[in-house]
């Protein structure tokens, strides 16, 4: 049977069992409150327990490891809005500086930041510096030492990859710290040197790690190291690091004018995984062309299949390459349902989808969603009578959309948990006890909102809105809630979630491969790979004979939708250097249902959901003033 572990509790349980055993040597035991390095590395199982602690702080802290947190990294992009601490998301505010980093200087985004990653690199270097001195009694012990080393190389590569993708070239440290080390003279290596350092660690990890079938779930495998290599090489092949920004600065840009080779390396790294060189990985669900005419039941089956990828609690399926496991009320904890769920369910409503991205989800037949399809040129208002809706249900902008829309977005009318006070559907819309027919027609958003304002005494806010009687402050500011990674079986007010955070999955590898192919001019291979992801999601494939420009547009769209809300977008919009196009102010969606059956969906351009500002220097995070004060020879990133 496949085993899977909660690393922090394995460590504690092992120490307890170790201290309670060997009673015949009780008088020779070290004090239990002084776990010195010398003592730990005298026994192979304690050395392994030290490794578990390195796993446990890969994300900066022991409670919310990696990306599944109250404040998602995707809220620092055009995907989501952090409704409670938007001002702290300095990346989208244009006020990110070495002295004021907001979330980019504290534990909320700890797993991508300088001090958190170096703290764990220190741990790993201690392990690598001592592990060869651990006594062994058998060939099995020697093999275990070799595996521990390989896992340590993976963890160090993981932490350094996070640093490179946030800062560019960084300080490279490959040995245990000593008291006599000179920290004041530390300098940053170039981007190329940093990349090569990480690749060396990854090659060592791949060579020494077992296949996923031969190790406890949750620990590093050959596939995990190979996927990290693919992720890293894909990132560094982007425009940002290949002359697109501060091209003469070797901390943030390569100096060799050899982007094509990096693209080839990225393609080959992903291809090795796709070909099964490091174990069997595959998309969950069918990857053949879906039915041309899909029933509602078939559509929702595709949505459920996609949604379930992110709700795995026990043994992982073949899509998962590496992740963090959560056990309810034990060890690492996560409360997605509480953090992101609707206020009408006594949840906090954070990380809300933004209208522009909601419109990127296609129709179920694979055609683009068009807000103004039934009223050309009107991109802010949709209105219809009940009779019109009965004749054409797709007048409702949330009907007839692709399966991933329903797996990712909680919208007005979306089915959700039962509750005693009302029905089991999300209620964001306001109910208006007055007819709406008289204010239908050719009016601007401002005129429409003014007309509706006169009806305020007879307007009742939805149970999941900011006008709700319950926890209005947690109500949606955008008109939506995040659905992805929420477990409908969990009462967010009470229970922890148990679903795994998928740090790396096979879909990302396919996307990395497709991008490299397209950028290298291998259009048919790239589109064919994208079509596997689309087909799994219940969408028809794209034509494979198109221009590179069209293929690139389709690819970037597919990555946005497939990886929505997983944090990937923060790296993509920087890598492609499109932040100036996508970081912008946006508005809320207001919905009204009138007592005569009229409904109005208004993208309220007279109100702001959030103000945002882009500054090109923010393509790279600044090194904090605190770190530079510790090591004055550290060069700052350009523009700060």
| Per-residue pLDDT at 32 exceeds 90 | no
Helix (H) or strand (E) holding 410, with range, is strand 409-410
| Per-residue pLDDT at 277 exceeds 50 | yes
| Per-residue pLDDT at 18 exceeds 50 | no
Per DSSP, 369 falls in state P
Mean pLDDT calculated for residue range 144-161:
98
Band (pLDDT 50/70/90 cuts) for residue 64 is low
| Per-residue pLDDT at 302 exceeds 80 | yes
**Nearest 10 degrees: Cα torsion 538, 544, 547, 552:** 40
Q: What 3-state DSSP class applies to 473?
A: helix
Identify the burial level of 169 via C-beta atoms within 10 angstroms of its C-beta, where 0-12 means exposed, 13-18 middle and 19 or more buried: buried
Quote the pLDDT of residue 423: 81
Give the pair of three-digit tokens for residue 460.
């009742």
Give the pair of three-digit tokens for residue 217.
């779930």
Band (pLDDT 50/70/90 cuts) for residue 68 is confident
Cα–Cα distance measured from residue 554 to residue 558, given in angstroms and rounded to the nearest whole number: 6
Mean pLDDT calculated for residue range 398-407:
99
Domain map (residue ranges) of the chain: 7-287
Alpha-helical regions (H) of 243-385: 259-274, 296-308, 336-340, 355-358
Quote the pLDDT of residue 21: 40
Share of the chain above pLDDT 70, in %: 91
For 314-357, the pLDDT digits (tens) are: 899 999 999 988 765 555 578 899 999 999 999 999 999 999 99
Facing residues of 431 across strands?
460, 593
For 487-517, the pLDDT digits (tens) are: 999 999 998 899 999 999 999 999 999 999 9
> Please, what is the average pLDDT of the chain?
92
| Per-residue pLDDT at 29 exceeds 60 | no
| Per-residue pLDDT at 90 exceeds 60 | yes
| Per-residue pLDDT at 544 exceeds 70 | yes
| Per-residue pLDDT at 8 exceeds 70 | no
Closest CA to 81 of 333, 307, 340: 340
Does the domain spanning 7-287 belong to CATH 1.25.40.390?
Answer: yes
Between 89-98, 194-203, 297-306, 415-424, the lowest mean confidence (pLDDT) is in: 415-424
Cα–Cα distance measured from residue 21 to residue 27, given in angstroms and rounded to the nearest whole number: 12
Backbone angles phi, psi at 90, to 5 degrees: -65, -25
Mean pLDDT calculated for residue range 41-47:
95
Mean pLDDT calculated for residue range 591-617:
98
List all residues 6 or more positions away from 313 whose beta carbon is below 8 Å from its beta carbon.
Answer: 498, 499, 500
Quote the pLDDT of residue 328: 58
Quote the pLDDT of residue 491: 93
- Residue keyed to tokens 């004041």: 184
For 353-383, the pLDDT digits (tens) are: 999 999 999 999 999 999 999 999 999 999 9
Quote the pLDDT of residue 373: 98
Say if CB 125 and CB 173 are below 8 A apart: yes
Backbone angles phi, psi at 244, to 5 degrees: -80, -25
Cα–Cα distance measured from residue 215 to residue 227, given in angstroms and rounded to the nearest whole number: 17
Q: How far is CA 313 from CA 211, 555, 578, in A?
A: 21, 30, 36
Quote the pLDDT of residue 57: 86
For 410-457, the pLDDT digits (tens) are: 999 999 999 876 689 999 999 999 999 999 998 899 999 999 999 999
């Amino acid at each position: 049977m496949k085993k899977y572990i909660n690393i922090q509790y394995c460590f504690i349980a092992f120490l307890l069992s170790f201290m309670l055993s060997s009673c015949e040597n009780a008088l020779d035991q070290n004090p239990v409150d002084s776990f010195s390095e010398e003592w730990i590395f005298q026994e192979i199982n304690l050395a392994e327990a030290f490794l578990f602690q390195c796993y446990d702080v890969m994300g900066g802290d022991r409670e919310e490891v990696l990306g599944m947190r109250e404040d998602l990294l995707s809220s620092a992009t055009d995907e989501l809005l952090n409704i409670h601490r938007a001002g702290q998301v300095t990346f989208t505010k244009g006020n990110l500086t070495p002295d004021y980093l907001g979330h980019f200087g504290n534990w909320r985004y700890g797993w991508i930041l300088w001090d958190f990653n170096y703290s764990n690199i220190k741990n790993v270097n201690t392990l690598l510096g001592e592990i060869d001195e651990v006594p062994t009694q058998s060939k099995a012990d020697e093999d275990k030492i070799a595996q521990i080393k390989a896992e340590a190389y993976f963890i160090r590569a993981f932490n350094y990859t996070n640093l490179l993708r946030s800062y560019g070239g960084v300080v490279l440290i490959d040995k245990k710290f000593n008291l006599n080390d000179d920290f004041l003279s530390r300098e940053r290596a170039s981007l190329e040197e940093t990349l090569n350092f990480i690749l060396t660690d990854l090659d060592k990890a791949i060579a020494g790690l077992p296949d996923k079938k031969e190790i406890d779930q949750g620990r590093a495998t050959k596939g995990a190291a190979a996927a990290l290599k693919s992720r890293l090489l894909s990132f560094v092949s982007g425009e940002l690091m290949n002359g697109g920004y501060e091209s003469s600065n070797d901390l943030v840009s390569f100096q060799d004018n050899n982007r094509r080779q990096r693209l080839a390396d990225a393609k080959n790294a992903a291809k090795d995984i796709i070909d099964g060189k490091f174990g069997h990985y595959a998309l969950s669900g069918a990857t053949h062309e879906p039915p041309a005419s899909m029933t509602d039941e078939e559509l929702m089956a595709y949505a459920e299949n996609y949604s379930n990828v992110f709700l795995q609690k026990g043994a992982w399926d073949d899509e998962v390459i590496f992740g963090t496991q959560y056990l309810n009320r034990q060890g690492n904890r996560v409360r997605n349902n509480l953090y992101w769920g609707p206020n009408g369910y006594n949840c906090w409503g954070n990380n809300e989808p933004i209208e522009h991205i909601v419109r990127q989800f296609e129709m179920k037949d694979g055609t683009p969603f068009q807000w103004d399809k039934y009223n050309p040129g009107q991109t802010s208002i949709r209105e219809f009578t009940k009779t019109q809706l009965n004749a054409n249900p797709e007048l409702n902008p949330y009907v007839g959309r692709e399966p991933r829309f329903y797996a990712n977005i909680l919208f007005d009318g979306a089915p959700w948990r039962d509750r005693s006070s009302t029905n089991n559907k999300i209620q964001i819309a306001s109910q208006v006890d007055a007819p709406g027919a008289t204010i239908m027609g050719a009016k601007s958003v401002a005129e429409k909102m003014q007309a509706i304002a006169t009806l305020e005494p007879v307007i009742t806010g939805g149970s999941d809105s900011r006008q709700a009687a319950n926890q209005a402050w947690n109500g949606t500011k955008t008109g939506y809630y995040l659905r992805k990674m929420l477990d409908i079986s969990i009462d967010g007010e009470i229970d922890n979630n148990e679903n795994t955070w998928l740090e790396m999955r096979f879909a990302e590898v396919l996307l990395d491969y497709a991008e490299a192919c397209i950028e290298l001019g291998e259009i048919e291979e790239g589109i064919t790979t994208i079509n596997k992801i689309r087909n799994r999601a219940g969408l028809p494939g794209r034509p494979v004979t198109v221009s590179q420009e069209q293929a690139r547009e389709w690819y970037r769209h597919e990555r946005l939708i497939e990886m929505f809300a997983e944090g990937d977008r923060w790296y993509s919009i920087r890598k492609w250097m499109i932040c100036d196009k996508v970081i912008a102010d946006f508005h809320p969606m207001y919905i009204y249902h009138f007592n005569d059956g009229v409904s109005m969906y208004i993208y309220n351009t007279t109100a702001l959901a959030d103000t945002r500002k882009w500054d090109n220097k923010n393509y790279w995070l600044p090194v904090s003033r605190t770190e530079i004060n510790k090591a004055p020879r550290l060069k700052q990133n350009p523009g700060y």
